[in-house]
Structure 1
Amino acid sequence: MIAFDTGSHRFNLRAAAVIFHDEYVLLHQVEGDDFWYLPGGRVEPGEHAAQTVIREIQEEVGASIHVEKTLCIAENFFSHNGQPYHEIGLYFIARLEAGSPLLDLTVSHHGSEGSKRLTFSWVARQRLSEIEVRPVFLRQLLQVDRVAIAHVIQRDPHFDISY
């Protein structure tokens, strides 16, 4: 994975899948966390970012997806467990294969990442402001349809989005 410590920060190159179904978006949460985020993970050396989201969804929940287009490139500066991070995030619109069990909006789905239990849930796009979503800019970005690629710079708690 492309993640390393440099000076005072940990650097991550992360890729995430934005999967919509009707007016819902698929989010996931690691057991014990109090926030939700998009499924995905850190890019492996030699792996292109779209392949990362395909691999991560397969590994974490056993589902197959098709990546359609890039939605957003984000420069995200945040702290987690006292560690400052500098993260470059690549966000891709993706769709689940027809007939995928994950398309059931009425239940939570479970997967794992190593020894960590993951919960995948569909959240109505208009209700994103009611839950803790990280990075915070996703609340705004995911509520409306985008034609152009967004470039986001987020320094908690503020962010700028340009198109």
Structure 2
Amino acid sequence: MQGNTDCCFCSGNDWFRYRVGAIIISGEYALFAYSEVDKYYYSVGGGVHVGEHSRDAVLRETMEETGLELEIERPLCIVENFFYGTGSLDGLNCHALELYYLMKPAEKKEITVSSFTANGMVEKMRWLPISRLDDYDIRPKTAVRLAKEPPVGFEVFVNEER
């Protein structure tokens, strides 16, 4: 049975989250989310709810954040993401387990849906040119690699930013 609670917890200064990410490509562009508070880009996606299948979570999150009814092409990888929190997670020692899915190609159009982070901050969706992804602050850095060259087979990556 699925609940509405994210698989996330905080214990002292330690923060953990189970998250899904969507790699969404349209021609020479990839879609990323941006938070004015955190001041960096990240993949469209979010927390998996307790009891929710990851495939259902990525479809739910992409719909909530973009208003687009996208389809999954295939699972890409798991990223073990270690970082020190900034912005809304300032001061926290963070560990996120992120399961990424490649979505079927989407039509590049302006996303006007109002989307919010887990902390209630407004986030905007932006199409970024794949050839210039290194020019943007995208976190985790592994997301840049996934958009530029999605792995052929399922892989496990460790993103260490502590």
Interval containing the TM-score (normalised by the shorter chain): 0.7 to 0.9
Gaps of 5+ in 2: 1-5
Moved more, 124-133 or 24-33: 24-33
Tell me what 2:3 maps to.
Answer: none
What root-mean-square deviation, in Å, do the aligned CA atoms of Structure 1 and Structure 2 show? 2.0
Partner of 1:72: 77
What is the CA–CA distance in structure 2 between the aligned matches of 1:108 and 1:63, rounded to whole Å?
9
**In the alignment, is the contact (CA less than 8 A) between 1:13 and 1:88 conserved in 2?**
yes
1:88 to 79, 97, 107: 97
**Higher RCO (C-alpha under 8 Å, 6+ residues apart):** 2
Q: How does 1:103-122 map to 2 (within 5 A)?
A: 103-104=108-109, 107=110, 109-113=112-116, 115-122=120-127
Question: Within 2, Cα distance between the matches of 1:124 and 1:108?
Answer: 16
What amino acid is aligned across from residue 85 of structure 1 in structure 2? C
Compare the two structures and name the one with the higher strand fraction: 1
How many equivalent pairs are there?
151
* Cα separation, 1, equivalents of 2:16 and 2:150: 30
Could you tell me the percent identity over the aligned residues?
A: 29
* Partner residue in 1 for 2:18: 13
Q: Distance in 2 between matches of 1:8 and 1:155?
A: 18
SS of structure 1 residue aligned to 2:43: coil
Pick the aligned partner of 1:127 from 124, 129, 132: 132
Alpha-carbon deviations, 1:86-116, whole Å to 9, x = none? 110000011366xx6xx22xx5645222743
| CA distance in 1: counterparts of 2:61 and 2:126, whole angstroms | 16
On the 8 A contact 1:4/1:10 being kept in 2, the answer is: yes
SS in 2 for 1:25: strand
Spell out, residue by residue over 1:132-155, the C-alpha distance to the aligned partner (whole angstroms, 9 max, x if none): 000012223321242112211111
Q: In structure 2, what is the Cα distance between the partners aligned to 1:68 and 1:142?
A: 14
Which residues of structure 1 form unaligned runs of 5+?
A: 158-163
Q: Report the TM-score, using the length of structure 1 for normalisation.
A: 0.83
Deviation at residue 7 of structure 1 after TM alignment: 6.2
The answer to which of 142-151 and 72-81 deviates more is 142-151
Which secondary structure state, in structure 2, belongs to the residue aligned with residue 50 of structure 1? helix
Q: How does 1:32-47 map to 2 (within 5 A)?
A: 32-47=37-52
Query: TM-score, normalised on structure 2?
Result: 0.83
Q: 1:108 to 1:52 in 2, by over 3 A?
A: closer
